Amino acid sequence: MNLKIREIRASSILIKSGLPAADWVINPYNGCLFGCMYCYAAQIARWKHPDEIWGNYLDVKINASELLKNELEKLVIRRSHHIYDFGSIFFSSVTDPYVGMEAKYKLTRKCLEVLADFGYQGSISILTKSPLITRDIDLFKKFKDIEVGMTVTGLDDKVSRFLEVKAPPVTSRIKALKELSDAGINTYAFVGPIVPYFIHDEKKIKEIIDKLEEIGVKKVWFEHLNLSPKIKARLYEYLKKESPELITEFEKTDTEKYREKLNKIIEKQMNGRKIKMGYKEVIYHKKLTKKIG
């Protein structure tokens, strides 16, 4: 496999967010080497590299931390007095902030160092699929309002290997979440997408929530699979080669009735637990677009 890693100089790094749960996003990389088959970013970010395969390229924004420092200073000047809270910042919306190259370039770490040195008072949220995140526990402790999350699409490495082709296996993520929780970091899990066929009944959902609660995770977000035409085209092309019988199984789940059934199971399973539900309902991209649109 031919990976293309390019060092680039970006023109901005602190970007206004279109996500309901964040005011700003920071993407220290463009592209993602984890190459998940359901990735929505594959469509959003690839206009820069239309001829390349998602998962095979990464632009490394080598000036990310320097840019962030300048942009934070400009925001302070624009607001003409020293406020160190510009709202919530999310790492990252169209890449994974701890993709393998982060071990070498440390761009996410350097951006967090800039925020810590700046004395950032707003909330920070980080979502990754990589246990490399535990490297930065020392830094997380410097923030008063930070939450650190891992995507957990099941408890079985076979499922994560199948759809999150080059991401670290889910068991290593659960171990990392426990390490973070044990270190006193506020942790969350993102069960998204809820993978059709593999995670389809109350038993499976309960197992996931039980595990997350057991390892000290404070909050869990759920999201239904986004089967928009572009995501579907890439995903089904992969399924056609790897496991064609699953196309019918996935297709069957793209109904309001199926989503409602899962919503009820999740609500029931979350009821009365210590672990809280992010967004207070299962996310579905079409409803989300309507809410923020």
Q: Which residues bind ligand SF4 (CB under 6 A)?
A: 32, 34-36, 39, 41, 95-96, 129, 164, 167
As measured in angstroms, the least distance from the Cβ of 167 to ligand SF4 is 6
What single DSSP character describes residue 124? E
Nearer to ligand SF4, 109 or 129 (CB): 129
CA 117 vs. chain centroid, Å, equals 25
As measured in angstroms, the least distance from the Cβ of 162 to ligand SF4 is 13
Distances (CA, A) of 32 to 107, 164, 285: 14, 11, 21
As measured in angstroms, the least distance from the Cβ of 213 to ligand SF4 is 24
Nearer to ligand SF4, 122 or 168 (CB): 168
Cβ density class 62-81: b for 16+ within 10 Å, e for less: bbbbbbbbebbeeeeeeeee
User: How big, in percent rounded to 5, are the helix, strand and coil portions of the chain?
Assistant: 45, 15, 40
CA distance 149 to 221: 10
Nearer to ligand SF4, 36 or 72 (CB): 36
Nearer to ligand SF4, 82 or 104 (CB): 104
As measured in angstroms, the least distance from the Cβ of 38 to ligand SF4 is 7
As measured in angstroms, the least distance from the Cβ of 57 to ligand SF4 is 12
Distances (CA, A) of 237 to 33, 117, 197, 246, 283: 19, 46, 17, 11, 25
Nearer to ligand SF4, 41 or 146 (CB): 41
CA distance 158 to 163: 9
CA distance 284 to 266: 14
